[in-house]
Structures are given as structure tokens and as C-alpha cells.
Amino acid sequence: MKRRVTIALIAEEAGVSVPTVSKVINGRPEVAPETRQRVEKLLHKHGYQRRGGHGDGPVGLVDLVFAEIESPWAMELIRGGETAAREADASVVISVMHTHSGPGRDLLDRIAARRTDGVVIVGSRLSPVQHGQLSARMIPFVVVDPEGEPSPDVASVGATNWNGGLSATRHLLELGHRRVAVIGGPPDMLCSRARIDGYRAALETAGMPVDPDLIRYGDFLVGSGHDQGHALLDLPDPPTAIFAGSDLQAFGVFEAARQRGLRIPDDLSVVGFDDLPLARSAWPPLTTVRQPLQEMAALATRMVMAMSRGEPPETRRVELATDLIVRDSTAALRPAAHDGAARRR
């Protein structure tokens, strides 16, 4: 008969006391790093579950952990997470890692010590070690917009980035543009690769060649949109349309075009991605691909609270639909637009 997994069993295999295992489970700091790692591996290996779930039931606290929080993109996710938590009479704690490499041990210890119901991790990579550390502490977690391909047993929420890249590029092609450029995010980021793959698919489906000179990478922020926008418009045969990969990069392209005396959309059409509130008030109002950021964070928060009640998610990977929102930053190709872009380099 298989032995029931208990703290005593874990302590016996790890060669430590029962109180030491309890301290690891509860994120207490007074455990040597080597001992903590040994205990965590055994907890993960045996799939230990505390009797009655995580503590005595949900405590009404959810952690939102961000890689960075400076952009309006993060603000939309916070609004979504707070809305879902408020509906469940729960509160939210926001932490910022200032790194995209996932939560460190110190942060995980602090989270475990406050007996959170679960963690929503936004825009970062989660290594197998970090996965094991969260699992060993019995902390339910969901990753929103993961940077890399998540493990099959990790619950995650994202958007249909490939389809968004496809529809943005197809929109520009349908307007008659043939020199269509793209500015992605970091090349190793999952959502960036998917958007550029959608861009490629739209061109290939339309029988258009994929010009490597028209594919650029940034960091999804205004500065890289500005710099890459200038680089694209410096080409001997510049684009007449740019799919900027994010709204912030689109705003950077706006500024690069303005500095050259180019008019949007008369001389250059621009499409963003996100549909931040700023997209509607930009001048001209930005055509963009809406990804439902608030809904993504709200769903992840509901999922993690359900997991804290012992309810496994119905599916581990959820992708919410994106939609093309056509405003005033795109227009049909004018015969003079291509010459105008080249003339103002």
C-alpha cells in the first residue's frame, strides 16, 4: 500500500525535523538554502498537499506579480485583476520584480508567509526551479502572457497573438499597401514571435514576398518604435505601412514620421497592438489590434482563486480573442505616398 504523503514522511526522507519542513512550506526564512532546496524537491516530487488545501480555505488575498509596471499595459492588467478580486471580496497585493526571469526565492518566501490564496504572474519566464518552488509551497499560480512556452502543467492566459498579427497585416494589404513593415518585441518573447508569424502568414497568403529588411525588433516601448521607425524610413525603398507590434511602439513611429514631415495616414499607415486607452485619444486615433488585457487578468485571477478552493482549471492554456479596431491611422495607399516617404528620408 502506498504511504500517505505527510510532513513526517518528507522530514524523514530529507533528514530534517518536522518543524523544518513546516517552515519551508510556510515560507519562513530561518532555513538554510541547501536544506530548503532539498525539502522543496521532495515536496514537489511527492505532490504533497496540505490537509484541507491551502491553509483553512481561501483568505481573500491574491498576489499580482509583474516583471515591470511602468507602462499603461500593466495598468490595464491591474484593473482587471482588481475587478475580479473585488467581485470575490478579495484584496490584491502588487509586486514588481524588475526582471523578466520570474519570481525569486525571497519574493516567494514573502508570498508564502502572508498565506495568499494564489499568485498571478505577468509577463515573465517561469523556470522549472521556480515552478517547483511555487508547487512545494502549495501556492496556486497562473501565468498571464508568458514570455516563453509554458510547461503543459502550468495554467496560463494569453491572447491570440498570431491571429492579431495576421489581421493587422491583412488590413494593410487590403488597403493596397505592398511595402508593409513590422516592428516586433524582443525576438525571444512568445507573443512577439506569434505576432510576427501572423505578419508573415498574411504576406505569404497574399502571394507577397517577405522582405527581411522590413522585419525589426524592439522592446514594445515608445523609444524602440521611434528608433526602428526611423531605420525603416531610411531604407532605399521604405515601407508605406508599418504594423508596429504594440500601441506604444506605434506612438514612437508617429513621432518618427512627424520628425520627417510625413503625415499619418496620408504618407504612412500605422497599426498598433493592445488598444490601450491612449489609442483612442492619439492623433490621429490609432488603428490597432485589441487584446483584452483587463479580461485576461480577471480570468487569471478567477482561475487562481478557484484553484485555491481545490478546483482544477478546466483547461491549462486559455487564449482570448483579439479584434482589429479600425480608426484613422490607416488609409488606402495613395500613388504619391511611396514617393513621399522616400523623398522625406
- pTM above threshold 0.85: no
Q: For residue 229, is it within any domain?
A: yes
- Which domain CATH number covers 12? 1.10.260.40
Most confident segment among 12-16, 90-94, 310-314: 90-94
Q: For residue 57, is it within any domain?
A: no
pLDDT at 334 over 80: yes
β-pair type (287-290, 323-325):
antiparallel
What pLDDT is recorded for position 274? 97
Q: For residue 305, is it within any domain?
A: no
**To which H or E segment does residue 158 belong?**
strand 156-159
Q: For residue 270, is it within any domain?
A: yes
Q: Which residue has the cell 526582471?
A: 99
291-305 tens-digit pLDDT: 999 999 999 999 999
Radius of gyration in angstroms for the set of CA atoms belonging to the chain, rounded to a whole number: 24
What pLDDT is recorded for position 10? 82
In the listed set 292, 318, 337, which residue is the last one of a domain according to the structure? 292
Percent of the chain at pLDDT exceeding 70: 89
- Which of 184, 172, 141, 288 minimizes the C-alpha distance to 240? 172
pLDDT band, residue 253 (cuts 50/70/90): very high
Q: For residue 22, is it within any domain?
A: yes
11-55 tens-digit pLDDT: 888 888 877 887 777 666 677 878 878 887 887 777 665 544 444
Q: Is residue 77 a contact partner of residue 296, using CB atoms and an 8 Å limit?
A: yes
- Which domain CATH number covers 282? 3.40.50.2300
Q: For residue 279, is it within any domain?
A: yes
Q: For residue 249, is it within any domain?
A: yes
pLDDT at 80 over 90: yes
What pLDDT is recorded for position 102? 64
How many structural domains does the chain have?
Answer: 2
Q: For residue 331, is it within any domain?
A: no
pLDDT band, residue 204 (cuts 50/70/90): very high
Structural domain of 6: 1-51
